[in-house]
Amino acid sequence: MHITVLLKPVPDPGAGRTFDPVSKTLVRQDRPVVINPLDRSALDAAVALRERHGGRVTVLSLAPRETAGVLKEALALGADEAYLVSDRCFAGSDTLVTSFILSRAVVATGPPDLVLAGNRSSDSGTSHVPAQLGEWLVWPHLSHARVLRTGDGDPSALIVTTELEDRFIHYRLDLPAVVAVTGRREAPRHPTMRDLVHARAKPVTLLDAAALGLTPAETGLAASPTRPGRLIPVDRPAKRGEVESGPPVQMAALILSRLHKLLLKG
């Protein structure tokens, strides 16, 4: 089974939020780029499927060249081959054009039996791209996938359970298909030193517009239906409420008595 995983480099959600243990306040720092957490779940799921059924895992990232490091990390985490889809003319692509470029890249590097991605990214989080990629490819697609496994005795099908607000739905999909996963895996793999050394030897192949047979007019801001407009600052006046500080036990009692007063006085 050939599985392609879409990886988006995002600012490290954990960085910039480190705590100083003494002052117990936030320490601001530069935010390095990491694999979007849910894409990481998708990669782990792909590697697990390969371990059960054989095949290979390709990782694909549409991103600026400086962020190729996340693809190296993905190779260390078990991906077999990595492609960076990058070109200056891709800048400003909205989700429709992003998913179009990705559809070209998915076909050019396969086409695979299955595309896996995270359900949303931790930075912009529109969650459009997996569904839109499925539409461009004219493959069946599902978002919000919690559980996936190959079809019982049928290697050309996938059994997927999605989670909506109030229910779980079970689906059967014919491959090839696009599936976006939600939820974190309990025990994410961590690369060993050996994995990292091996990964260093593997190449990250660059795919630019020409390699995908795309013209600048088909990509980037030029081709995108949506346009960013003005930025509007929203500045709310501060409420200037009561400010308290003191030992935790005293603050805890203050909050509880306040809750009591607000909610129970009837």
Partner 1 sequence: MSDDCYGIMVYAAAGGPSPTRATLELLGLGRTLAAKLASVRGHTPWVAAALCGHGVEEAARSLAGFADRVHCYDDPALAVYHPGRWARALARLAARYRPEIMIFPTGCVGQETAASLAARLRTGLASHAVGLDIDDQGRLIQLVASFGAGVLGEILCPEHRPQMVTVTPGLFSPAGPLPVPGRMIREEFPPGDDLGLSVTGVEEKTVSPARLEDAPLVLAGGFGLRDRANWQALEELGGLLQAPVGCTRPVLDEGWLDDERRMIGISGTVVAPAVYLGLGISGSAHHTVGMDRSGYVIAVNGDSQAPLFRLADLAVVGDAGDIVREMLKILDGKKSPD
166-225: which residues touch partner 1 (CB under 8 A)?
166-174, 177, 182-184, 224-225
> Which listed range, 59-67, 75-83, 140-148, 190-198, lies at the site for partner 1 (CB under 8 A)?
140-148
Task: By CB under 8 A, name the one of 66, 187, 245, 265 that touches partner 1.
Answer: 245
∠ at Cα 251 (248, 253), nearest 5°? 110
Task: By CB under 8 A, name the one of 164, 187, 193, 217 that touches partner 1.
Answer: 164
Q: How far apart are CA 43 and CA 7, in angstroms?
A: 8
Task: By CB under 8 A, name the one of 101, 142, 181, 199 that touches partner 1.
Answer: 142
* 208 φ/ψ angles, rounded to the nearest 5 degrees: -100, -175
Binding mask 35-64 for partner 1 (x = CB under 8 A): --x---------------------------
What are the Cα distances from residue 245, in Å, to 213, 249, 254?
63, 11, 10
Compute the least distance from the CB of residue 86 to partner 1, in Å. 21
Side chain identity, residue 65? R
Compute the least distance from the CB of residue 133 to partner 1, in Å. 8
Distance in Å from the first CA to the final CA of the chain: 63
> Which listed range, 14-22, 71-79, 109-117, 209-217, lies at the site for partner 1 (CB under 8 A)?
14-22
What are the Cα distances from residue 85, in Å, to 20, 59, 96, 209, 214?
38, 10, 16, 8, 12
| Residue 249 interacting with partner 1 (CB under 8 A) | yes
Q: Is the Cβ of residue 54 or residue 245 nearer to partner 1 in the bound state?
A: 245
